Structure 1
Amino acid sequence: MRLRTVLATATAGLTAVTCLTLAVTVPASAAPAPRDAAGRPTANACSPYADLDGFSDALDETTFDGLDVGNLSGLSVDRGGRIAAVSDRSVLFDLDVHQGGGAPRATVAAGMPIADENGGQLDSEAVVVDHDGTYLITSETEPSIRRYDRAGHLVGRLPVPSYLQVAPAGRAQSNLTFEGLTLLPGGHTLVASMEESIAGDDQDLTRLQTWNRVGDSDAFTLGRQYGFRLDPGLGISEIASTGDGRLLVLERGFTAGFGNTVRLYAADLRGASDTSGITDLTASSGARLIRTTLVADIGRCPSLGATARQPQPNPLLDNIEGLTVTGRTPDGRLRLLMISDNNDNPDQVTRLYSLTVRLPRR
């Protein structure tokens, strides 16, 4: 996936907000010093809401059964507590990951190529393991969401609004479509996030599309759609359900000579307008956007000894694209895994991150 260049100033995204509404509690540039839930400074804190437990580069530059373990763009909890990880080179891996107070420990347990209807490769960006164990996997080429069985065989495909298709079939930009995918609690609502805006929409606005499950089947029909305001220069790389109806939204961008910017937001869909009937999502369209709260600017996390192969504002950073919630701590905080996509670039790294997050109050 193409990375947007972070703008030199944040003012560009603040113009013409006439009728659109958005609640962000604090801009990243003004984030308070890291402290824990009791207000005490903590060495592992990224923000008042998030702690970095550790990171691991154990998967970097490795192979499994002849498959390169890299270009990893999406994560999802699989059966038995393992982690499904999809590569944008059309490969699905099964990772054995252990978390618990420190750096995550990860090994590859299985890997298999996946393909489209014609046997061609996908630009696969996100994965969800459904209740029956099948995999729902996005490709941002068309875009599409396809269903695969446990052996990697294609068994179905979800409908996609025509205007979200890549031009000239639709209004989306090539390589900037379905980057994120998650199931809401109960498994009846699927959500996919467009990485960036479509033609006719304001450039700082993107759309989240939902599907509703038909009964207890594996079929989904198109549901509501929501508008999301992007930080200047960033795009959505992943979304994950928090278990309480909200989403975690991962935004990231890249600036040559500077490095990556990666931010994690809590997003509340309640009260947001259904934008599926809005042709042009703009400041004058009257839509109520998804309300967001900054959870962490990952660049403010402690580096914990990480090194970078290219300029970065924090050597911990890279092209972080995958995110999933793996469980809760005894005190109710969320355990998260994130992973970076190395883009087949020797100057980048495949890095797994373990975080603990306390969600902001609604």
Structure 2
Amino acid sequence: MSLTTSRRALIAAASTAAVVLTSLAATAGAAQAQPASAAHGIGGILAGRSCAPSALAVDFSDALDKLTYHGIEVGGLSSLAYDPRSLAWASTVDNHASDPARIWFFRNPANPVVVRDPLVLKRPDGTPYDGTNSDNEGLAVLPNGDYVVSSETEPSIRIFGRDGVQKSSLPVPARFAVTGTTPAGQATSNATLEGLTITPSGTEIIASMEGALSGDVAANGDATLHRFLVYDADRHGNWTLTKQVAYRAQPGNRIAEATAYGRDSLLVEEASFNAPVGNDVQLYAVTGLSRAKNVSAVTDLATAPAADVVRKSLVADLVKCPTLGAPSRQTQANPLLDNYEGMAVTADVAGFAGVSLISDDNFGATQYTRVLNLVARLP
């Protein structure tokens, strides 16, 4: 299936979801007055596909799982972004021992097919980054085709050319460094700049912290407040850090990814893992990002007023999705779940969007590289 065909399929799915969900909303108030068969018909459709409250599961694919392409193992995929020049979806490898840092490219989220050798990410001197000095968790593609990649190691946000060579980097505040690596560092190792996205206009980059800074943890241990970094481009294409935004995750959750959609909104993936239960994933929408309070000068978010924190609304609880017949190698409340760390809005039809997530198998035998495709009603 071609990329165009894949997009048409997602758009068709979004249109179908719009009809189903709109019909449900229109008839909910009069449900008792409807014939039982009609109410059951609508409920049956949603019961079979619903990832409550506002999403439907379309399909999943494990086609990339444990795949070897031209002698290179595909795995550790931790981001998802569309690359128009490659006519493909792109995903970074977070890290794998001393392997070179890579970006993989594939088409058709419904049945992913790798379309080329991976792009190796290199320092300005041309030597490759690898798993010992980078942990590339976030990816965005600039309008000029350059790749923006966030690494959890320092953390850092680097810009690479189409040849994979680093061209520049974005400033990251000193307190975002991992504790112990610098005097000012307040971040937890392996819980820094996990998410990265660019707005559809191509003029704003948002990076999200997986965990809380130690300076934002409340006296009672509440570590649910996270910071987003917002960068804006000037007319010359130079990027400036313009503000920080406060976001409160559900207790026990990390922020695995954030993806921009519409004119001023974010879809945020929160996730957790508990060995006896498995993975837990929810998607939340944040609207009006431009109106969000700038908390750059707030030393401790735990003491900030509630108005300083953006509001969010639940879009989907993936544990509630149908299993779609998915296999599982771990104990899971829903076998469709895995370590989803990349996410992208793939189509947009009158408020209904195609949403794809990709899981990071950590190059391990008990996890999948899986692509899950949803249709969601986004505010």
TM, length-normalised to structure 1: 0.84
Secondary structure of 1:318's aligned partner: coil
For structure 2, which runs of at least 5 residues remain unmatched after alignment?
Answer: 1-19, 25-41, 96-100, 218-222
CA contact (8 A) 1:239 1:247 kept: yes
1:94 pairs with 100, 105, 108, which one? 105
What are the superposed Cα offsets for residues 154-188 of structure 1, whole Å, 9 maximum, x if unpaired? 11111111111112321111111111111123222
Question: Structure 1 or 2: larger strand share?
Answer: 1
Q: Among residues 130, 135, 139, which one is paired with 1:123 in the alignment?
A: 135
For residues 245-304 of structure 1, the C-alpha deviation after alignment (integer angstroms, 9 at most, x for no partner) is 110000111001210000000012254321111111114556521110000010100011
1:296-335 matches, within 5 Å, as 296-329=316-349, 331-335=350-354
Q: Does 1:205 align with 2:220?
A: no
**Residue in 1 that maps onto 2:206:** 191
- The amino acid that maps onto 1:191 is I
1:71 matched to 2:76? The reply is: yes
Matched, 1:157 2:172: no
Q: Of 243, 258, 262, which aligns to 1:224?
A: 243
Query: Residues 285 and 172 from structure 1, CA distance in 2 versus in 1: closer, same or farther, beyond 3 angstroms?
Result: farther
Tell me which protein shows more helix as a share of its residues.
2
Whether contact under 8 Å (2:56, 2:321) holds in the other structure is yes
Q: 1:295 aligns to what SS in structure 2? A: strand
Question: Distance between the aligned counterparts of 2:248 and 2:306, measured in 1?
Answer: 14
Q: Are 1:261 and 2:280 an aligned pair?
A: yes
Q: Which residue of 2 aligns with 1:171?
A: 186
Measured against aligned partners, the alpha-carbon deviations of 1:102-144 in whole angstroms (never above 9, x if no partner) come to xx01111121222445643220001001000110000010111
Matches of 1:266 and 1:332, distance apart in 2: 12
> Structure 1 residue 37 and structure 2 residue 22: aligned?
yes
> Partners in 2 of 1:264 and 1:287 — Cα distance?
22
Whichever residue aligns with residue 315 of structure 2, its letter is V
The match for 2:145 is: 133
SS at match of 1:38: helix
Letter in 1 for 2:241: L
Gapped regions of structure 1 (runs ≥ 5) = 1-34, 99-103
Tell me if the contact between 1:224 and 1:275 (Cα under 8 Å) persists in the aligned partners. yes
Alignment of structure 1 residues 51-66 onto 2, 5 Å:
51-66=56-71
1:235 equivalent in structure 2: 254
In the alignment of these two chains, the number of paired residues is 319
Partner amino acid for 1:231? Answer: Q
